[in-house]
Amino acid sequence: MEREKRRAWAEIDLGSLDHNYHALRSMLPEDCKMLCSVKANGYGHGALPVAKRLERLGADYLAVACLEEAIQLREGGITLPILILGWTDPELAPELIRYKLTQSVFDGEFALRLSQCAQRAGKTITVHLAVDTGMSRLGFLCGEKELAGTVEEVTRIYPLPGLAWEGIFTHFSDADGSEEYTMLQFTRFLDLLKALEKQNIKFKIRHCAASAAVLNYPCTCLDMVRPGIALYGHYPHPSCEDLSEDGLRPLMTLKTRVVSVKTVPAGTPVSYGRTHVLERETRLAVLSVGYGDGLPRGCSDKLRVWMSGQWAPIVGRICMDLCMADVTDLPQVCQGDETEIWGGHAAVEEVARLAGTIQYELLCGVGKRVPRVYLE
Ligand SMILES: *Cc1c(COP(=O)(O)O)cnc(C)c1O
């Protein structure tokens, strides 16, 4: 679709991906591998183009949430190892084998069933053991009380036929918050590794650091790191922010255009629910973007957008496909003008704050109907 016809689009600067990738790489020990998280359509940036670029950059591994996401990458020609972080029905073992995918294993029953299905297919599935050191999400528990039981269980599943244990990992819940808790999680992880080693159980790739830990606790990098958000140019949390000039660069700019401009008399309500009543005669610009594109309705009447070199406030509720900006003080604005919703001038972090959420959610939430336009 040519530029003129687009109603809302996301420009993705792949050059910034190169920059962020190298910036992260430079923080890592030389032999530390990098697994890049491209789950949820590459955090909304388009999983395949991002994965292709990462493959070219020399990434070691990719991670996705589920089998479908992994297959999409394989069908698109990606040959890097891919780790599925979430659950896969063991009955789908033939797919894991066919597409050469790595599966995370987070309980004994699952390991057993996966092993049976792999044997039935006469093949071996590469697996990583997920350890729950305090996130209370996926993985074998390994707090003080559970450690012995987990060692026992892992000792039992480790020799199962059809499974090739390549890696072991855990995930920090507060690496952008508490150092104490992060170190507690890290210590639990190391304790488990030690206990397993005593049973002669070793893993080639031990990994635990996502973006926040890579930035805040380089000591946790081990054999591989798993950044996501930082690759897309965003700090997981303002506390991680490195204000040096060579910091991370956001990839995405969400843009739309003005589809109508008109002057409305003072006292007129704007949009659904009439939450905003115009105090003065107002030039309203109607923008062709709404919550159906991923612009959160929660920032109705709070957001400002960048158009024609100035800020313009959004007035009234954000609709599914449209929203309205007050451009009374921007007389130069006219139909067809490009408008920036986030990226460039308006940080997505600020939009997220107004909407009461985090940048991750907004990036992932950019709608299907918003074309991604890749800049080299
Ligand atoms: C999403 C995810 C990551 C990446 O996290 P970021 O904060 O985006 O760097 C790493 N590991 C696991 C297990 C994840 O679910």
Kindly list the distances between the CA atom of residue 270 and the CA atoms of 7, 134, 265, 275, 307, in Å, as whole numbers in the listed order: 21, 48, 11, 7, 20
Residue entry with tokens 């999680």: 185
CA 157 to ligand 1 center in whole angstroms: 26
CATH superfamily, region 252-375: Lyase, Ornithine Decarboxylase; Chain A, domain 1 (2.40.37.10)
Find out whether the beta carbon of 139 lies less than 6 Å from any atom of ligand 1: no
Lowest mean pLDDT among 29-33, 291-295, 344-348, 369-373: 344-348
- DSSP character for 65? S
Residues β-bridged to residue 125:
163
Query: What residues does each domain of the chain span?
Result: 27-233, 252-375
Quick one: pLDDT band at residue 3, thresholds 50, 70, 90? low
Please, which residues have CB within 8 angstroms of residue 183's CB and are 6 or more apart in sequence? 217
Q: How far is the CA of 108 from the centre of ligand 1 (A)?
A: 23
Dihedral sign from CA coordinates of 227, 228, 234, 238: negative
**Per-residue b or e along 281-306, where b marks 16 or more CB atoms closer than 10 Å to that residue's CB:** ebbbbbbbbbbbbbbbeebbeebbbb
What's the whole-number mean pLDDT along residues 4-28? 94
Question: Is 43 one of the catalytic residues?
Answer: no
Q: 200-214, pLDDT tens digit by residue? A: 999 999 999 999 999
For a substitution probing ligand 1, which of 169, 206, 214, 226 has the most ligand atoms within 8 Å of its CB?
226
At residue 137, what are phi and psi to the nearest 5 degrees? -125, -120
pLDDT, position 242: 65
The CATH number assigned to the domain with range 27-233 reads: 3.20.20.10
> In this structure, are residues 89 and 62 in contact, taking their beta carbons and an 8 Å threshold?
no
Distance CA 339, CA 232 (A): 22
pLDDT-derived band of residue 240, with 50, 70 and 90 as boundaries?
confident
Does 145 qualify as catalytic in the annotation? no
Share of the chain above pLDDT 70, in %: 98
Question: Is any atom of ligand 1 closer than 6 Å to the C-beta of 250?
Answer: no
Query: Is residue 65 a contact partner of residue 41, using CB atoms and an 8 Å limit?
Result: no
Using alpha carbons, select from 332, 314, 334, 333 the residue that is nearest to residue 324.
314
Yes or no: say if 223 and 251 are a contact pair by the CB < 8 Å rule: no
- Mean pLDDT confidence for 14-41: 97
**pLDDT at residue 239, as a whole number:** 74
Residue ranges of alpha helices (H) inside the chain are 14-25, 39-43, 47-57, 67-75, 93-98, 108-121, 147-157, 179-198, 211-216, 348-355, 359-364
Residue 226 Cβ contacting ligand 1 at under 6 Å = yes
pLDDT at 301 over 70: yes
Tell me the average pLDDT of the chain.
96
Say what angle helices 67-75 and 47-57 make with each other, to 10 degrees: 70
Which of 7, 20, 15, 5 lies closest to 215 in space, CA to CA? Answer: 20
Using alpha carbons only, give the angle 237, 20, 361 rounded to the nearest 5 degrees.
40
Catalytic residue among 33, 39, 43, 360: 39
Ligand 1 neighbourhood includes 339 CB (under 6 angstroms): no
Q: Which residues of 128-142 are buried (b: 16+ CB within 10 A; e: fewer)?
A: bbbbbbbeeebbbbb
Cα–Cα distance measured from residue 119 to residue 154, given in angstroms and rounded to the nearest whole number? 19
Beta strands in the chain (DSSP E): 8-13, 33-37, 61-64, 82-84, 102-105, 125-132, 140-141, 163-170, 205-209, 224-225, 252-264, 269-270, 276-277, 282-287, 304-307, 310-315, 323-326, 338-342, 372-375
**Length of the chain in residues, anyone?**
376
- For 107-135, what is each residue's pLDDT tens digit? 999 999 999 999 999 999 999 999 999 99
- Does residue 159 carry a pLDDT above 60? yes
